[in-house]
């Protein structure tokens, strides 16, 4: 049996994940926190995620993105909030059910075709073997691609995504320079105005 035939046999014998009756929704959470020290807050956030069996997939000076088991995402969000002042939160849900159904249908169809090619390979003449193997190789690549897409969807269903943006919060008290936050008030001569009130 050729190497291609062994690969085909393994592919045909590989189980396909059955459709789950549960909702197939991938969830993304976004949180914006005002913090006094972005690096310390990011380090603390990473540690919290890791304690909950999560991990970070992206980190910059003011942003961290995590993957966390869906069952523990609420716990992570609850623990992230005390790291700063929450100024924005957002949740997005994406239904992957239809896409996964389509991928499974295409995968089953291609595996059936591959099975027929596999049967033909055993009886094909020398001239036809090359063409059959070429078609089988193409099908194997397509099957592997579909399996990879399904695995990615399943990964998105198991692990929620949490993105945390950090904004710097200046904790220094405002400087008293005699100016007002009201610009129109700064245009007036308060000294003369106060003097005139005192001499009425």
Q: How confident is the model at residue 13 (pLDDT cuts 50, 70, 90)?
A: very low
pLDDT band at 22 (very low <50, low <70, confident <90, very high): low
Give the DSSP letter of residue 2: -
Coil/strand/helix, residue 176: coil
Residue 32 has pLDDT above 80, yes or no: yes
Question: In this predicted structure, what is the pLDDT of residue 59?
Answer: 93
Q: How far is CA 131 from CA 6, 120, 128, in A?
A: 17, 11, 5
pLDDT digits (tens, 9 = 90+) for 33-86: 999 999 999 999 999 999 999 999 999 989 999 999 999 999 999 999 999 999
If one looks up domain 25-96+160-168 in CATH, what number appears?
A: 3.30.70
Identify the pLDDT of residue 104: 92
**Residue 88: pLDDT over 60:** yes
Summarised one tens digit per residue, pLDDT across range 92-142 is 999 988 888 999 999 999 999 888 887 877 777 777 777 878 888 898 999
Contact 64, 164 (CB under 8 A): yes
Structure tokens belonging to residue 165: 């943006």
Read off the pTM.
Answer: 0.60
Residue 17, φ and ψ in degrees, nearest 5 = -60, 130
More confident residue, 116 or 162: 162
Cβ count near 109 (within 10 Å): 11
Adjacent-strand bridge partners of 65:
58, 163
Q: What is the pLDDT of residue 124?
A: 72
């Amino acid at each position: 049996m050729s190497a291609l035939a062994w690969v085909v046999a393994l592919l045909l014998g590989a189980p396909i994940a059955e459709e789950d009756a549960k909702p197939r929704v991938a969830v993304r959470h976004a949180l914006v926190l005002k913090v006094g020290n972005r690096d310390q807050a990011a380090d603390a956030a990473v540690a919290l995620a890791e304690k909950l069996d999560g991990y970070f997939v992206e980190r910059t000076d003011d942003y961290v993105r995590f993957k966390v088991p869906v069952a523990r995402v609420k716990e992570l969000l609850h623990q992230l909030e005390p790291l700063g002042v929450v100024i924005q939160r957002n949740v997005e849900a994406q239904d992957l059910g239809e896409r996964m159904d389509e991928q499974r249908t295409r995968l089953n169809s291609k595996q059936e075709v591959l099975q027929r090619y596999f049967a033909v390979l055993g009886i094909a003449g020398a001239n036809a073997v090359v063409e059959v193997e070429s078609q089988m190789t193409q099908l194997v690549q397509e099957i592997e691609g579909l399996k990879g897409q399904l695995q990615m969807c399943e990964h998105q269903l198991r692990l929620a995504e949490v993105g945390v943006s950090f904004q710097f919060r200046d904790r220094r008290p405002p400087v008293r320079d005699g100016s007002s936050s009201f610009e129109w008030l700064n245009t007036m001569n308060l000294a003369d105005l106060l003097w005139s009130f005192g001499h009425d």
